[in-house]
Structure 1
């Protein structure tokens, strides 16, 4: 049977606080984000592996504080005095390691934003000591900042995330499907989003219900494409 052609309507990633599920792997970081007005020196470093929720929490903090969010790699092209007029979340700071212009821009943003009474959030995968920043004054300021770590979701959290992602698409999988998936996908929120989207698309295209059999076929296809 030929596959049905479906409309490719990507789901909107929900980045609000209500969409961020709290578990032991992220509870400390969430508490610090929610208590941002008490940060020592009005700044925080948020670290964690890809897919652990850094970007989501950065958006949560931006909603709470009115902060701007920008990628570190764009800083050299930014109007730093203007950007420093509000709180700022700078994402993926390790990406500018060794880039003198970008590191200098971040150093000036750090000083100007704090002088204006604003707050700063820095994100990166590793702990700040492994960011390999080369500008000594910037490096010392970042490494002297309070830090919070996110960890990859455990089985309970990943199960809850999958259940919510299915529910957001008005899908009702059998309970054994989620148990099947958490043993076979990467332990990250990004992987959970990908598999739910792929299963939704496959179910529509093939006119098949959500099942372990469909999941096995989708995972096998993704594995082949990754090789």
Structure 2
């Protein structure tokens, strides 16, 4: 159902397996998720650009493995033994670069989860070697994980991502809008996310439906700083 103009309804991000779009750029990562629980060493590092689907795949895996998901920056506030009782996904590991307490918690969590026979999924945007971790024992364990990267999107995948992002915000554009956006936007997941946010905000602010005319106005206006 199309969203009524003037009502700022919440975005509902679909994170199930059926909502994940398989493409050559993510085929290897999806294959590794499907190979659970046979990951070498019981752990997997998932990397790739912002918006590439790391969080989506983490949720797909968590549903499959009955795992919990936690942001790495929250590790300073957890009881490690309580968190190590089953499979776990730790998202955005580079966020704890420079945080000695969080890195120490992740080191002990890693060891305990594997010792208990459970599995560990780790995510971060750059390759593992660039996560910026400084605890030597943790660095060696992270680099010992099998790593798989989601790549930049091709046209087919970027089209599907745009459609999904719009649907998550309950926006129903006309068929000609997505090809128009694709022809003019920066070709990355991060750009798609930012553009849909701007389109949504403009549609609400102006109480106008999402059309090519409104999209042209948004695309011609530089994004707000910050």
Indicate whether the TM-score tops 0.5.
yes
Aligned residues of 1:166 and 1:173 also touching (Cα < 8 A)? no
Query: What do residues 158-178 of structure 1 show as CA deviations (whole Å, max 9, x unaligned)?
Result: 112223444563614133x22
- Structure 1 distance, partners of 2:166, 2:72, is 33
Greater shift in the superposed pair: 212-221 or 17-26 = 212-221
Q: Calculate the TM-score normalised by the size of structure 2.
A: 0.88
Which structure is higher in RCO with an 8 Å CA cutoff and minimum separation 6? 2
Deviation at 1:131, TM superposition (A): 1.5
Number of the residue aligned with 2:31: 31
Q: Which secondary structure does the structure 2 equivalent of 1:57 belong to?
A: helix
Residues 1:137 and 1:204: Cα distance change in structure 2 (over 3 Å): closer
The Cα RMSD (Å) is 2.3
Gaps of 5+ in 2: none
Contact map agreement 1:67 1:86 (CA 8 A) in 2: yes
Q: Who is 1:47 aligned against?
A: 47
Deviates more, 1:109-118 or 1:206-215: 206-215
Query: For residues 224 and 181 of structure 2, what CA distance do their matches in structure 1 show?
Result: 18
* Cα distance in structure 1, aligned partners of 2:99 and 2:82: 22
1:154 and 1:106 mapped to 2: Cα distance? 35
What SS does the aligned partner of 2:51 have? coil
Instruction: Give the equivalent residue in structure 1 for 2:114.
Output: 114
Shift of 1:187: 3.2
Distance 1:137 1:200, change over 3 A: closer
The alignment status of 1:87 with 2:90, answered yes or no, reads no
Cα distance between partner residues in 2 of 1:219 and 1:159: 17
- Paired with 2:152 and 2:48, the residues of 1 have a C-alpha distance of 8
Once the two structures are superposed, residues 129-169 of structure 1 have per-residue CA deviations (whole angstroms, 9 ceiling, x without a partner) of: 11122211111111011000011211111112223444563
Helix, strand or coil for the counterpart of 1:137?
A: helix
Tell me by how many angstroms 1:56 deviates. 1.1
User: How far apart are residue 78 of structure 1 and its match?
Assistant: 0.6
Q: 2:71 maps to what in 1?
A: 71
Q: In structure 1, list runs of 5 or more residues that go unmatched.
A: none
Shift of 1:185: 2.7
**Deviation of the 1:201 alpha carbon:** 5.3
Partner residue of 2:16? Answer: 16
Matched, 1:225 2:224: yes
Distance 2:181 2:106 in 1: 41
